[in-house]
Structures are given as C-alpha cells and as structure tokens.
C-alpha cells in the first residue's frame, strides 16, 4: 500500500513520520493485576472494587453506577499493590479481553481492582495516560484484542502480553494531552446527554404512573374511570407456525418472533425471512405499521408496535386488536410496569415461561370512559417519547462524531499541534 509523504507504515498502521511506536514495556511502567478472593471482603460500606462490569467499550471512563465495595485489611502489601491512583490505565485481561478504563479524579479513593483487570501506571512526566487509554480503545488495538478474545484462550491475557502491546504516540506529551482533551470533551458531552435522556425517561415514567392511573388528570377532564378487562376492549390473535425449511435470507417477508418484541419497541435487526406467503396464512397474521404485539413466551408481557413493512406474525407472539379503546392510550397502558409484572407472575412452565390468552384478556385496568381523555393522555406521553427519541438521535450522532475524531486524531491524520 502506498503511503503518502510525511507518513510511515508501522505495526499499528500508518502514522506520521515523527510519531513513535513503542511497546508498553518500553516505558517501564508499573504493571499489575488485582487480587483473587477479595469477594470475601464485600461490604455495604468501604472502598470501590472495580470489576470488568465497571468498564465499557463505549467510554474509557469507569461506570460507577454498579459498584461493589470492599472493606480490606489496610496497609498490607497486597492492598497497596492493587490500590488505584489517578491516571492509571486499566485493561480487562480475561473473558472479554481489552476493555479499557481510565482512572480519573472522579473515582473515589482508595479503590481497588479484581484479578480480571490489569493496571498500567506510566510516568506522567513523559506520557499522557489518558491519551494511551483512548489509543487502546481505538479501532486498531481493539481489533487485536477481539482476536485474542475470539481465540478462546481460557487463560486470557498475561501481564507479559500487556507489556508487549504496541502504542503509537505523538512526539511530545503536549500533543498527546491536546488529543486526549478533545476526545475527553466529546465524552463529557455524550455523558451529559445520556444523563439528560435518563432524566427524561424517569420523568416520562412518573407521568405514566400519574396519568394512567387517574391520580393526575389533564385540564378539562373530570369523568369517572371504569375497571375493564382487556377482553372487553380488544381482541387477541395468535401467530403462524412458520417452518424453518422455508426460510430464505433474501426473502421479502420478515417473520416477527418473540426476540423481535422488545420492551416498548420492535427490533428487526435479526429476522428470519421467507420469499412467499404460506397459502393458509390468515389475514391477521400479516402485519401493518402500528399494530400492537405482545410476547407470550420467554420474556413475557413485552409490548411493541410494528415499525416495518412486509412483516408477519410468528407463533407465541400475540396481536392485540383494539375494539373500544384509543390505540395509542392502549399502547401506553400495556407498557406500564404493573401490566408487565402481572404477566411475569402469570407465566407458567419450566425455564421458559408462557402466558395464554386468558392471562392477557382477564387483566383488569382502569380506563377513562371519555375516549377524548384517552387520546389526550396518549398525546402527552407521545410528545415525551418524541423528545426522548430526538435526544437519542442526537446522542448517536455525537457518538459517531467522536468515533470519527478518534480515527483522525489517534492515527495522526489530523494534527492539533
């Protein structure tokens, strides 16, 4: 491959001529891994104990939401060895290899790591650890880490292998820091947006609990609500038993199974397909935009609306057909956690629970007599959904921008200094 002037081909790809490629061990950093058996020291109070679940491929910053705490014997050689410091680089070395973490000042100290994580501590006078973290989280190193994971080596990655990992670095620490700061600013923007989305979701959940129970009424409505079984306001139809030998990867029709019915949405990323409609398929088993579906096996009680053309209803997925209720209000009513929990309780049968028509149609809910109130409630909740969807779209855009920035900045295609 021809390399343009000013760049060179290296072990980690094409980089600027003035960048250097070194192994982690060349920097003579402190490298160690966490201790085994410290689960015995789990406590309701204590120091954070960082596990692989606190690392993410989405961001180098640690996820501190699901923290285990440990109350360790203090000032032992083992606790001192595995105690984290600001700017440490973390690498998962077993199972899902190569997830990168960066220990920022936001991580409460003291903090410790378990045996599935390696710690790399560089000399801060010549190496920016945040830059190293971003580099290791970028596409080329991650491809190599995935290859190690896919090899199925039960032992995972040794500390000796950690020493041998290649890094590509700008010639000065100042340039490393400048790149890391730009990417860190992007991460902060993404984190802030994620927190806003979580806040909006909580607000919507609270609104559902208020409006769908009549605890809070919209202006202009005061009529009574009435308890009704779902069987009084809808019909429930079953899906078709498709034969797997008719599946065709290039088929025109998508078969919607319980796996496609997610919590409040339909996911069609992975769908079996067929080329021709079965001769005995029934009209209700051919789906249209907006149809309401419910999972009746496995993760029972999940509700979604059809969001694609040429979709067909598979067995163990039910189609709810509203008769005497606003369809949008009905959708939100069934997405309430109370309904989901009741269906889970009703589920019967071994490892994979099942619900039947009776479980669904006998469910009682309070419903406004006035359909215009049903519609008004649905519009309020729909507006909230639209706001959340817009924010989620913006979030995905920011993540794509950050990914592009990583590809440009961490390979030297774009220089800041």
Domain 224-369 has CATH 3.90.220.20: yes
Domain 172-219+370-412 has CATH 1.10.287.1120: yes
Q: What percent of the chain lies above the pLDDT cut of 90? A: 82
Is the confidence at residue 153, as pLDDT, over 60? no
The pLDDT confidence band at residue 352, using thresholds 50, 70 and 90, is confident
CA 66 to chain centre: 14
- What is the model's pLDDT at position 96? 87
Is the confidence at residue 121, as pLDDT, over 80? yes
pLDDT digits (tens, 9 = 90+) for 54-74: 999 999 999 998 899 999 887
Strand order in the sheet with 112-113: 68-70, 42-50, 112-113
CATH 1.10.287.1120 in the chain, residue ranges: 172-219+370-412
pLDDT mean across residues, the chain: 93
- What is the model's pLDDT at position 155? 58
The pLDDT confidence band at residue 348, using thresholds 50, 70 and 90, is confident
The pLDDT confidence band at residue 152, using thresholds 50, 70 and 90, is low
> pTM of the prediction?
0.85
CB 294 within 8 A of CB 303: yes
Please give the structure tokens belonging to residue 193. Answer: 């947006």
CATH of domain 7-169: 3.90.220.20
Q: Which of 28-42, 165-179, 233-247 has the lowest mean pLDDT?
A: 28-42
pLDDT digits (tens, 9 = 90+) for 382-411: 999 999 999 999 999 999 999 999 999 999
CATH 3.90.220.20 in the chain, residue ranges: 7-169, 224-369
Is the confidence at residue 154, as pLDDT, over 70? no
pLDDT digits (tens, 9 = 90+) for 249-266: 899 999 999 999 998 999
- What is the model's pLDDT at position 335? 92
- What is the model's pLDDT at position 370? 94
Q: With b meaning 16 or more CB within 10 Å and e meaning fewer, what string describes 320-350?
A: bebeebbbbbbbbbbbbeebbebbeebbeee
């Amino acid at each position: 491959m021809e390399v343009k002037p000013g760049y060179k081909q290296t072990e980690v790809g094409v980089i600027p001529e003035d960048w250097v490629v070194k192994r982690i061990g060349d920097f003579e950093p402190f490298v160690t891994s966490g201790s085994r058996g410290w689960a015995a020291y789990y406590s309701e109070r204590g120091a954070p104990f960082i596990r692989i679940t606190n690392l993410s491929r989405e961001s180098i910053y640690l996820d501190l939401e699901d923290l285990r705490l440990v109350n360790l014997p203090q000032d032992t050689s083992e606790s001192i060895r595995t105690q984290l410091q600001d700017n440490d680089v973390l690498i998962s070395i077993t199972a899902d290899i190569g997830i990168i973490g960066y220990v920022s000042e936001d991580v409460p100290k003291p903090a410790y790591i378990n045996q599935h994580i390696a710690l790399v501590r560089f000399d801060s006078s010549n190496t920016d650890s945040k830059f190293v973290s971003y580099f290791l989280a970028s596409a080329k190193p991650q491809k190599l880490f995935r290859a190690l994971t896919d090899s199925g080596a039960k032992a995972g990655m040794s500390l000796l292998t950690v020493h041998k990992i290649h890094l590509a670095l700008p010639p000065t620490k100042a340039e490393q820091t400048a790149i890391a700061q730009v990417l860190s600013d992007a991460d902060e923007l993404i984190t802030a947006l994620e927190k806003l989305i979580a806040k909006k979701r909580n607000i919507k959940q609270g609104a559902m609990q208020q409006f769908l129970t009549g605890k809070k009424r919209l202006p202009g409505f005061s009529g009574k609500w009435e308890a009704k079984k779902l069987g009084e306001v809808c019909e429930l139809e079953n899906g078709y038993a498709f034969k797997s030998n008719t599946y065709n990867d290039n088929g025109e029709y998508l078969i919607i199974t319980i796996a496609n019915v997610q919590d409040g949405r339909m996911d069609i990323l992975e769908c079996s397909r067929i080329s021709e409609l079965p001769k005995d398929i029934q009209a209700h088993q051919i789906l249209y935009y907006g149809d309401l579906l419910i999972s009746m096996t496995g993760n029972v009680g999940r509700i979604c609306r059809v969001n694609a053309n040429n979709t067909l209803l598979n067995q163990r997925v039910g189609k709810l057909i509203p008769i005497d209720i606003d369809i949008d209000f009905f959708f939100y009513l069934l997405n309430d956690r109370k309904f989901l929990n009741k269906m889970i309780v009703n589920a019967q049968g071994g490892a994979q629970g099942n619900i039947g028509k009776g479980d669904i149609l006998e469910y009682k809910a309070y419903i406004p007599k006035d359909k215009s109130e049903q519609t008004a409630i649905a519009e309020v909740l729909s507006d909230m959904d639209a706001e959340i969807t817009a924010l989620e779209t913006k979030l995905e855009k920011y993540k794509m921008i950050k990914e592009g920035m990583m590809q440009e900045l961490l390979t030297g295609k774009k220089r800041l200094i």
